[in-house]
Each structure stands twice: as structure tokens, then as C-alpha cells.
Structure 1
Amino acid sequence: KERRGDYLGKTVQVIPHVTDEIKDRIREISDESKYDVVITEIGGTTGDIEGLPFLEAIRQFILEVGAQNVVNMHVTLVPYIKAAAELKTKPTQQSVAKLREIGLQPQVLICRSEKSIDRELRQKLSMFCSVSEKAVIEARDVAHTIYEVPLMLHDEGLDELVCDLLQLTTPEPNLTSWKKFVDCVVSPLKRVKIAVVGKYIHLQDAYKSIYESLTHAAASEDCGIELKLVDAESLQDRVGTQLQDVSGVLIPGGFGDRGVEGKIKAARYAREHGIPFLGLCLGMQVATIEFARDVCGIEKANSTEFNPDTPDPVISLLEEQREKIQSKGASMRLGTWPTKIGKGTLAEKIYEATDVMERHRHRYEFNMKYRDRMKEKGFIISGTSPDGTLAELIELRDHPYFIGCQYHPEFQSKPNKPHPLFKGFIQACLGFNPKRATRAGGDPKSLARVPEKELALQR
């Protein structure tokens, strides 16, 4: 905005320019979506320097729209001290006091805790934090899954409390579908084992969106997920040992060349043994490189990300692409973009559509110069940009389920609406028996499948 001259040469300051931008973003969501309520989260810890502009923006926002139109909720920790066998409220008191210094008074306290918060403790928090006793909400650690939290907060009356504070008249919520979803997550009728091959698997939250997307899709099939987290670097010499007992292989996105050869071997193992495969972003790219090398005979096929001087850049940053995406983060393709899906492809069957919108975050693309050569061997580009110049989806003609996408479908999956690619992947995994898998000879019909009734287990 400053470079466009929106501030007329004024010095850009945190107040009012940064705070005004934050408020405008909140209003923009409200105006465009036409929702009755907009939920805005400010992360971090009260008092963090980086969070102060956001808290100040909320203070101003409340003043501008009226306190009756805003509910200020504070999520706080009430720690349990094992040595004393009691819950401590002092951290919450200090946190609320800090918020008051900033100019914000919480109306609701969401109290995270290991143990139940009794009435005496609620009264104490109510008095010291100037919050109604009924607005002190207990949020205990859940037993099985985070998806139990909405049901717990409903039992605490949080939804009714918020509606009362906003003076909204609403019917009783119908939580039947959510309860069914949670039941499928907690007590599935069947289970499937899936390998996630990445280089950040030692970090619990590195692929969090992918893990949750698999959970969403599995729950829709009343299925549980057993994740086998495989370090890509460990696959250099023992890929068969690591993947012989799984019903599906997923390779997520990433950057850099560390672990790439292991991912390529995982893609090859899945292709040759007919194991359902889903490659996301970099996962699609390594599958492409593997197919080019081992099926098409392009021995030096690679990505210019890993080898800028490769003679066969099947994955590269093309000059024409660089020009097209200059306005979307220099050399990176960012945001939501349309994808045109080819008719008669597996992708069309999965999506049940030919035009979809998906979220991107990548620099490198499939080099269309190799399209015809690889197509002859069964490598199908089943989704492209509307103008047909960029490959968005790939699949293999002679494989039961081998899909790769250049985008990130995990960012669009929802608990009661799993993304089609994850749902299709889970369905394929349920139909695969690793004990009967043999190296494919080219005919996908020859691969053994397990009847659904053999997979079902009693609750």
C-alpha cells in the first residue's frame, strides 16, 4: 500500500496503519462471506511483542463496532502441580491482568487443564478475573482425539453463552453428524496401515494437516489409521523392509534434496508392487522422476531444484512459468488456482468434477517437454492449469491407484467433508492386502484384493 501511494507519503506506523490493516482484514471477511459471526484467533502469549499490534487492533475494533457485538474469549492454562496435588490459578490471573493493561477485558475464560475444575476454583477465577462464574469454561485434556473438544465445550454451555452475549436467537445445535464422526475416529470398524515417507517425520506437527486429512477421510469410511512414519533417508538400502507391511504410501511436500533418493525408492516400490500411492507437491515430483528414470529410460532425469545442471530436467522452473507467477510471490506459485481435470481419468472419478480450485505453494513444475514421451509409457497428466501449460495432477495408467498432485489438498480437508484425493486414497488402501502384494507385471487386474468383509472388525 505504501508503495502504491495509499498513505500519501506519510510515515508508515504501527498505529494507525498496521492496526487499521488488521481491522480491515476482519471486516473484509465479514463483508465478503456474509456470515453472522466471524471467529478471529490471536495466537501466542499475552504480552508477546509480536502480538501487541493485534491486541491493540482488537481493542480499537471493539470500540468501533460496539462491545455488544464482540465476545472476547481468553484461552488460558490452569496447570496441575503434582507435588501439591492441586490446580493453580495464578498464571491465569496474571495473564488476564496483562490483558487489562492492554485495554482488553475477557468475557469468557477457556481453562485448559489436566484435571476437572471444581466450583470453588471457578468462583476464584471469576472473582480475580472479573468474569461471570458461568463464563469460566473447563477444557480438560481429551481422552482420544481433539475432535472431542467441541462436544465437551457444548456440554459446558459455551455455545449458548456466546449466543447470549451476542444477543443471538438460535435453535439447539444438531450435533448428530459430529458425534458420528467422533465415534468413527475413536472406535472404527476397521483399520488400515499407511506409510508417510518424509524427512521431517521426527517433528510431531510437521505434517499435521496431512495426518488430520487422513483421519477425516478414514472416518468417512468408518476406518482407523495406523501411521507408519518413515524417514526418507533411512530408505536408501531397505525400502522393502520398511514398506512391505503397509496398505498405502504417501509422500508429502517439502524443499531441498535431503532424503529425495529415499522418496524416489518409495515411489518405485509402491508403483512396482501395486500399493496405493498419493504424492503431494514434492511427492508428485519424485514420483515423476522415478517413472522417467525406471520406466521411460531417462536415466539422468531429475529436478533442477536438486541438480541445476541435469541434462533431463523433468521437473524445472521454466522461464515462461516465472513470468506467469511473478505477481504471486516472485518465483513461487502461491494461493488458490483453478485446475482442469481430464475426462475419463481416475482423477475425474475421484473428484466427480472437471473444474476444481486447489491451494498451491511451490516453485517447480513438471516440464511439459517430456509429456508425450512419458505418456507413451502410461504416465498420464490428468489435471492441468486452464490453459493446459502447467501439470497439476498425474496418474499411472497401469496401476490401481497412483495419484500425484502439485498442490496441497490437505489444506482443504474438513472433518465432515474429507478431500476427495484423501478419501479415494483411503478407499484404495482398504482394498489392498500387503500380504498378497507381489511385484507387478504390468496388469493391474492381477493384483490381489481383500474383500471388504474380511477387513471389518467388531467394535
Structure 2
Amino acid sequence: VVNTPDAGTIYEVPLVLEDRNIGQLIVNRIGLDVEADTSKLDEWREIVKSLKTTDPQVTIGIVGKYVELEDSYISIRESLLHAAASIGVKANIKYLSSDVEELDQDALKEFDGILIPGGFGERGFEGKLDAIDYAIENNVPLFGICLGMQSMVTQFARRNGYPEANSSEFGDDIVDPVIDMMEEQKKIKNMGGTMRLGSYDCKIIEGTKTYEAYGEIDIEERHRHRYEFNNDYRDDLQEKGLIISGTSPDDFLVEIVELPDHPWAIGCQFHPEFKSRPNRPHPLFKSFLEAIYEYSKN
């Protein structure tokens, strides 16, 4: 594995070794009477080639509170690179701290797309809301993951009749907790095990951008969070335009939302980066990159 400062991880060393017939050397060394099969490396060669793409280029901003340690978002970074390579563009990934009194507006103007990652706790939350507001006002492709999705719901609510909307994760006196802990979780709050963790089924709603990305109705995604979309606000926020594009199979839990009147603004409660691979970029990341590329042409 070769790490480059601007392009992330390039998986090239296995191909270098194979160019020197390392596979056949190993076969001969252990005394197997077979020929080494290198045909399966053809796809990998194409992947490495695509990861080295230098033009066209897009700039993506990850707005979060752990940006001082970029490895905090390494799975997201790699997923963006997988998706960019799959559509033939180079992704320049930049990091912007949300843990500030005022978000850097000039930095936001450099981004062709904005990604709001997950996290825990209130620190940096308002900065994420500012980035979301900028993306809404300027039609910048926007992707929210886990707390990023909750941030999108919160900011949409604040713009649509709930100026004090927030998450109950941040206090017991929230006026409008559009993000809250489920009742069954509250019962075991002091006993541990309140986190929704692991793989869960999700039902995609046809006619949405999310459905366009996945191309199927029934999917499975991995979760790691405690708080959920508060269904007490569901009907009203939908009436005001919020699009719910993915739910649990029983329609109880909101898994994916989309912002209305926007070219691409999707938030998911799960972590799609956990399922992305160099040869299988996650559908949401790929769709996000396609939207970013279109935006970059303007």
C-alpha cells in the first residue's frame, strides 16, 4: 500500500510484485505443479489506474470537529476516493473545523460538495448547522452521515417553524427535540447497551434521489448511534417539505432524509462508509460524487 498526501491510499504494491512474477515464484517455491493465475488482477489494475486520475478535479469539504486528526474520518475519505475513481474524477478532500465561533465562509466557497460526518456531543454542532445552511442557500451538494443527518434535520426544522430545534443528546431542556432517544432506549439509559449497533434492514422509497442511487428498495446498512429522528415531528416536517426517503421495514424509524428543492442533499442515519470498497463504491457516495461533478462544471 502506498500512501500519497493528496490522493489517499493507492493500492499498487501487489501489482508491482506481480510484475516481477512473485505469484509464480511462490508457487514454484512451495512445489505446486500449477501455473499462477494472474487474470483476477486485471480488475485491480483498472482500479489502481482510476485511483490515479488527475483530471477533472473536484473539491470536497469534510466539516467536522475532529479535523485536527484526519484519520478520524479515514473511512469517509477512502469512500470518497473510491466513488471519485469510479466516475473518473480526482477528489481533493479538505477539512474544515466546525468547532469555531464562526465558520470560515471563504473556505466553504472552495467546496464543490460538503460532507457532514458523524460524531458524539454538542461541541461543533452549530458549526455543522452553518455549513448545512450554506449548502442549502447555494445549492451545494450535501451529504450528512449519522449526526450529520441529524444536523440536517435540525437545521431544516429551524428554517421551518422550529427556531429552537435541537437534539435531546445535548440537554434535558430542549424546547423542540427533533432528534431524541427512543422510549425503549430511555428505559435502559442507565444500564448501558442503548446504542443501535450493527446491520439493520432499510426500506427505500421509490421516486427519491436515494432510490436513484441504490436502484433497489430493500437494503442493509450498518449503524452506530443512540439518538433517532423524533417521530413526534415527522408529519409536520414532511408537510413543510422534508423528504423521508428511507425507513425501517416497519416504517417506524427514519433512516434517510432528503432536503427539498435542492439538487442533492441526502442525510442517512447509518454509516455507508463501512461498506464501501475500491471495486464497489457505496451507491450513496457514488451518487454524491456525480452530483459534485455536475456542480463543479457551473
Q: TM-score, normalised by structure 2?
A: 0.90
| One-letter amino acid matched to 2:268 | C
- For 1:41-73, what per-residue CA distance to the aligned partner results, in whole angstroms no more than 9, with x for missing partners? xxxxxxxxxxxxxxxxxxxxxxxxxxxxxxxxx
TM-aligned CA distance change 1:183 to 1:272, over 3 Å: same
CA separation of 1:174 and 1:243: change in aligned 2, threshold 3 A: same
What pairs up with 1:61-72 in 2 under 5 angstroms? Answer: none
- Contact 1:325/1:332 (8 A) holds in 2: no
Task: Select the residue among 314, 318, 323 that pairs with 2:182.
Answer: 318
Is it true that 1:154 corresponds to 2:18 in the alignment?
A: yes
CA RMSD of aligned residues (A): 2.5
| Distance change >3 Å, CA 365–CA 142, structure 1 → 2 | closer
Name which of 226, 235, 258 aligns with 2:123.
258
Give the Cα separation in 2 of the matches to 1:398 and 1:166.
65
The gaps in structure 1 that reach 5 residues or longer are: 1-138, 434-448, 451-459
Deviation at 1:180, TM superposition (A): 1.9
For 2:295, what is the secondary structure of its paired residue? coil
Paired with 1:409 and 1:360, the residues of 2 have a C-alpha distance of: 9
1:397 aligns with 2:260: yes
Partner of 2:79: 213
In structure 2, relative to structure 1, the CA distance for the partners of 1:347 and 1:411 (3 Å cut) is same
- Per-residue deviation, residues 311-346 of structure 1 (Å, max 9, x unmatched): 21100111135579999x710001111000111111
Count of paired positions: 293
Q: Which has the higher contact order (CA 8 A, sep 6+)?
A: 2
Aligned partner of 1:333 among 191, 196, 218: 196
Equivalent residue for 2:157?
292
- From the CA coordinates, give the structure whose radius of gyration is larger: 1
Letter in 2 for 1:209: S
Distance change in 2, residues 1:377/1:182 (3 Å): same
- TM alignment of 1:206-245, pairs within 5 A: 206-234=72-100, 236-245=101-110
* Alpha-carbon distance in 2 for matches of 1:159, 1:166: 13
Residues 188 and 219 in structure 1, CA contact (< 8 A), matched pair in contact too: no
Residue 171 of structure 1: aligned partner: 37
Structure 1 distance, partners of 2:91, 2:286, is: 13
C-alpha distance in 2 between matches for 1:319 and 1:168: 64
| Aligned-residue identity in percent | 46
Supply the distance in 2 between the matched residues of 1:316 and 1:163 (Cα, whole angstroms). Answer: 58
The gaps in structure 2 that reach 5 residues or longer are none
State the 1:167 CA deviation. Answer: 5.3
- CA distance in structure 1 between the partners assigned to 2:87 and 2:188 by the alignment: 40
Listed as ranges, the matches of 1:93-104 within 5 Å are none
Distance 1:322 1:377, change over 3 A: same
Give the structure with the higher percent strand: 2
The offset of 1:228, in angstroms, is 1.6
